[in-house]
Amino acid sequence: MATSLRPLFLTCALGAVAFTLPACKRASSTGEARNVDPSQIVAKVDDAVITVTDVQDRINKQSPFVRARYTNADKKKEFLDGLVKFEVMAAEAARRGYDKDPDVQRVMKQQMISKLMQKDFESKLKVEDVPDADVEKYYNEHPTEFHQKDEVRVSQILVKDKGKAERAYAEARALPKGPANVMDQKGFRDLVAKYSEDDESKPRGGDLSFFASDSATVPKPIVEAAFNLKDVGDVAPLIKTDKGWAIIRLTQKRPGFNRPLAEAKRQIQQRLFRDLRSKAMDTFVDDLKKKSSISISDENLAKVVVEAGAGSSPVGAPPPGTPAPRPVGIQPSGAPAAPTHP
């Protein structure tokens, strides 16, 4: 039990400072700290020094609530002790060679890539860099995103015989009204199932979906009657159409909108900026590749076997007694992921 609790104890003891790693300065081979004002050194840990700036920066990066804990000398000493513990453990890990561990090296590379992206790539790109001409072009090419007419949604019962339609209409009128009344909605769907002869809308409970006043897909008499309905739940009088008699019930109303370019500009810039940044990233990485000596062995890559879930054979493994196919090569799961920028 003691052995299993030790890693947990160390994690708890150092967890509070794991995110407060100071930018410690390393000393020279003579033991003197380089480029560090001795009057600013708060602590030394072997060849590393912790300065006033290190402690101050790390405390001030915490939330105001956490910072308030370290306003007196004792608490500052407690915080410094956490940094010292962290350096002691890091130094011991390095002495044991863990700084050469592939996982540690991978994390370090990921951190370096993150810094590279922040300092040398992303800082040079701004949303405002998107040309106004591109913004205007997008606005004009996507009118439905910024302009929408008033729309309504109705359900219909369509029958060929007027007498049958009148009976359906009378039952529909007798249904309780109100958009929040579930029985009302269900009641009309039941009437659709009972009376409607329209094979297209009947399976959907008579739903005709949303349409505007200039719709070319919904018969004009139904469009006109639908837009004359005032409240959700209202039922229009019998409507004569080319296919027979229709009874419609208003189920939803959706008001239109009209956003001018000046109002939509920032939204469009942000959308186009993602594309701009992605293209800039591709160019940035391509240029780096050109400066590097890169060789790839497709033959060795094809040797990579991807294991399936527990209890299963590896992906691509052949049934017993059959020749094994060439395994599919993929990127190793441990490879550093390319930076992503949502």
pLDDT of residue 176: 78
Amino acid at 65: F
For residues 151 and 32, which has the higher predicted lDDT (pLDDT)?
151
Q: Is residue 46 included in any domain, yes or no?
A: yes
Structure tokens at 14: 């150092």
Span 285-298, mean pLDDT? 91
Q: Are residues 249 and 263 in the same domain?
A: no
Q: Is residue 114 included in any domain, yes or no?
A: yes
DSSP conformational letter for 295? -
Q: Are residues 224 and 246 in the same domain?
A: yes
**Angle of helix 261-290 versus helix 132-141 axis, rounded to 10:** 120
Long-range contacts (CB closer than 8 Å, 24 or more residues apart) made by 224-227 = 226/152, 226/154, 226/250, 227/150, 227/152
Q: Is residue 321 included in any domain, yes or no?
A: no
What SS3 class is residue 322?
coil
Percent of the chain with pLDDT over 70: 77
Q: Is residue 230 included in any domain, yes or no?
A: yes
Q: Are residues 32 and 173 in the same domain?
A: no
- The tally of domains found in the chain comes to 3
What span, in angstroms and rounded, lies between the C-alpha atoms of 191 and 172? 7
Q: Is residue 302 included in any domain, yes or no?
A: no
**Angle of helix 2-18 versus helix 73-95 axis, rounded to 10:** 120
Q: Are residues 92 and 229 in the same domain?
A: no
- Nearest 5°: phi and psi at 313? -80, 155
The model's pLDDT over 38-72, given as tens digits with 9 standing for 90+, comes to 788 989 988 888 999 999 999 999 899 988 998 88
Q: Are residues 244 and 227 in the same domain?
A: yes
Q: Structural domain of residue 162, as residue ranges? A: 150-255
The terminus-to-terminus CA distance of the chain in angstroms comes to 44
What CATH number does residue 205 fall under? Answer: 3.10.50.40
Q: Are residues 9 and 67 in the same domain?
A: yes
Q: Are residues 82 and 177 in the same domain?
A: no
322 has a pLDDT exceeding 70: no
From 255, 275, 304, the end of a domain falls on 255
The whole-chain average pLDDT of the chain stands at: 81
CA distances from 268 to 126, 148, 234, 256, 274 (A): 14, 17, 39, 20, 10
Buried b (16+ CB within 10 A) or exposed e, 54-93: bbeebbeeeeeeeeeebeeeeebeebbebbbbbbeebeee
Only one residue has tokens 């039990």, namely: 1
The model's pLDDT over 292-305, given as tens digits with 9 standing for 90+, comes to 999 989 999 899 89
pLDDT of residue 160: 94
45 CB neighbour count, 10 Å cutoff: 17
Q: Is residue 338 included in any domain, yes or no?
A: no
Look at residues 251, 253, 151, 152 and name the one whose alpha carbon lies nearest to residue 206: 251
Q: Is residue 195 included in any domain, yes or no?
A: yes
pLDDT of residue 202: 94
The model's pLDDT over 139-169, given as tens digits with 9 standing for 90+, comes to 999 998 999 999 999 999 999 999 999 999 9
Q: Are residues 246 and 263 in the same domain?
A: no
Structure tokens at 277: 């940044």
Look at residues 153, 141, 140 and name the one whose alpha carbon lies nearest to residue 255: 153
**Angle of helix 162-173 versus helix 182-195 axis, rounded to 10:** 170
Only one residue has tokens 């790109």, namely: 125
Span 276-283, mean pLDDT? 89
172 near 188, Cβ under 8 Å? Answer: yes
Q: Are residues 93 and 126 in the same domain?
A: no
Q: Are residues 45 and 194 in the same domain?
A: no
Only one residue has tokens 């302009």, namely: 147
pLDDT of residue 222: 96
25 has a pLDDT exceeding 80: no
17 has a pLDDT exceeding 90: no
How many Cα atoms within 13 Å fall on the side-chain side of residue 182? 0
- 18-22, 53-57, 110-114: which has the minimum mean pLDDT? 18-22
Q: Is residue 115 included in any domain, yes or no?
A: yes
Span 78-88, mean pLDDT? 92
Q: Are residues 125 and 264 in the same domain?
A: yes
The pTM of the full predicted model, rounded to 2 decimals, is 0.48
Q: Are residues 178 and 201 in the same domain?
A: yes
From 203, 229, 255, the end of a domain falls on 255
Only one residue has tokens 């039941």, namely: 190
The model's pLDDT over 181-240, given as tens digits with 9 standing for 90+, comes to 544 678 899 999 999 999 999 999 999 999 999 999 999 999 999 999 999 989 999 999
